[in-house]
Structure 1
Amino acid sequence: MNLKSIKIIYWITTVLLALFILPGIFFMNSPMALEGTQHLGLPHWFHEEVSIGSFIGGLILILPKLPPRLKEWAYVALGIVYISAFIAHLSVDGVIPMSFMPVVVFIVLLISYLCYHKLLKHANS
């Protein structure tokens, strides 16, 4: 795959993540979000912590010229959030189609991460 294709895939996946993650901060205390947290048996403070942390992680991913290590930590933290969400949904609801939404987001995150590293490797060579 050439560098131009990698850049395009990186930006498409990263922008999709940003569009999914960043608006969540504005709906953090909506009745639907609070109901989802209660349904999973999670405390309210945890919901706020994950919402704010995800927003910060989403910003880190799209802001240019931030240190690579900071972006690494954002990818790791968001990955943990989506894997944990998948496990929580499976534990409470069992295998239903909506349980797999965090997996879809995780796959997009993983593609963005892999492309980011290819671009970083190219920039350092």
Structure 2
Amino acid sequence: MKSLKTIYWISTGLVVLGMLASVINYTFNPALKIAFAHIGFPDWFRVELSIAKLFGAIALGIPVIPARVKEWAYFGFFVNFFSAFLAHFFVHDPVFNLIAPLLLLSLVLVSYISFHKLNNLKK
């Protein structure tokens, strides 16, 4: 159980830190306006995505948030990273741009699976 908690908190902590870094990057890095335009997304989507990532990071990072809210955050991150992979793939971006969202997706999946295992142990 202790190792499962460790896996959960490390993976979740990395997801939360990554999303907070992403929020800062999306908000203050002007190069991302160009990157979003390259993929074909409007600039407002960058702003909307950063707000959603902030709410998702808060939902996963605060232990007292209800499990149902965390489920939606996990779902949102899954859709986000899988969609990022597809978006980069269809505009023929370099391999790094394809691998990064998949690595983040796998980190979200580790957090999600360990979250559910921990919740099932509590029941």
TM-score with structure 2 setting the length: 0.93
Which stretch shifts more, 109-118 or 27-36?
Answer: 27-36
Q: Deviations over 1:11-68 (max 9, x none)?
A: 1101111111012222323212212111111001111111110111011001011111
Give the CA deviation at 1:94. 4.7
Counterpart of 2:19 (choices 21, 32, 35) is 21
Could you tell me whether the CA contact under 8 Å between 2:85 and 2:97 is conserved in 1?
no
Contact map agreement 1:28 1:48 (CA 8 A) in 2:
yes
User: For this pair of structures, how many residues does the alignment match?
Assistant: 122
Q: CA deviation at 1:112?
A: 0.2
Code of the residue aligned with 1:75 in structure 2: it is Y
Would you say the 8 A contact 1:22–1:55 is kept in 2? yes
- 2:45 and 2:32 map into 1 onto residues whose CA distance is 12
What is the distance in 2 between the residues matched to 1:80 and 1:92?
18
Residue in structure 1 matched with residue 120 of structure 2 by the alignment: 121
Aligned to 1:71: 70
Aligned to 1:56: 55
For residues 87-98 of structure 1, what are the structure 2 equivalents within 5 Å?
87-94=86-93, 96-98=95-97
Partner of 1:108: 107
Aligned residue for 2:91, secondary structure, equals helix
Unaligned runs of 5+ in 2: none
Does the 8 Å CA contact 1:22/1:59 hold for their aligned counterparts?
A: no
What SS does structure 2 have at the residue aligned with 1:110? helix
What TM-score does the superposition give when structure 1 sets the normalisation length?
A: 0.92
Q: Paired residue for 1:83?
A: 82
CA distance in 1: counterparts of 2:86 and 2:65, whole angstroms: 31
Percent identical? 35
Partner of 2:98: 99
TM superposition outliers: structure 1 runs of 4+ over 3 Å: none
